Amino acid sequence: MNQVLSIVRTAAVAAVAAGALALPATAAADPAAPPTIPNVNSFPPVSPVEYSVLGDRYYAFGTPDGLICAFDRINGSYGCSGPIPAAPGGANVVSAGPAGAPAFTSSDRPIFGAFGDVKQLPPNTRMSFRTVSCTNDGAATTICVNSQDQTGFVLSPAGSFLLEVNPLLYRPEGTNPYAN
């Protein structure tokens, strides 16, 4: 139901945007182009087994800017916690389940503190578990993408944001986009 509402909202925004494009040009500057997100799955993979923590319940890695990111091997959830750069509302956690859009939140304690010291993910490599892959540039940008529904997040000093469901890719199970 939430995905349907998301699609309806996206369609409404698209309709408003299309109407705005039909208006005469104004003196306002063009908005900045959306950021280009690299194909996370094009980076060389690391073996997640080398990043096992808490009795192999999680795969977790650290980033140079102090984040700890983890994959829950049992329920498929994933996320990062720590000093998220340019986080909305000062959030220090971003997480998602195995499907659906992630969300930012705040916690008064380190979410992954029980992991202790975790191994750093080498720059421009990726860790993948099920349909989720994450990478870090070796500085301050971390990206996680769920290829199942094209959701995920970008954590960057230039702005941290969520990747929402792409309604053009949304195909409910049991439907055929080529048949009525």
Q: Of 11-20, 27-36, 135-144, 156-165, where does mean pLDDT reach its minimum?
A: 11-20
Chain segment 43-67, per-residue pLDDT in tens: 999 999 999 999 999 999 999 999 9
The answer to whether the beta carbons of residues 155 and 94 sit under 8 Å apart is yes
What local confidence, expressed as pLDDT, does residue 158 receive?
Answer: 93
Element (H, E) at 47: none
Q: Of 33-37, 90-94, 165-169, where does mean pLDDT reach its minimum?
A: 165-169
Chain segment 115-170, per-residue pLDDT in tens: 999 999 999 999 999 999 999 999 999 999 999 988 999 999 999 999 986 555 55
Rounded to whole angstroms, the Cα distance separating 170 from 44 reads: 28
The residue ranges of every structural domain in the chain are 40-163
Chain segment 99-121, per-residue pLDDT in tens: 999 999 999 998 998 999 999 99
Query: Is pLDDT above 60 for 20?
Result: no
More confident residue, 24 or 71: 71
Rounded to whole angstroms, the Cα distance separating 162 from 84 reads: 13
Rounded to whole angstroms, the Cα distance separating 124 from 41 reads: 11
Quick one: average pLDDT of 29-34? 46
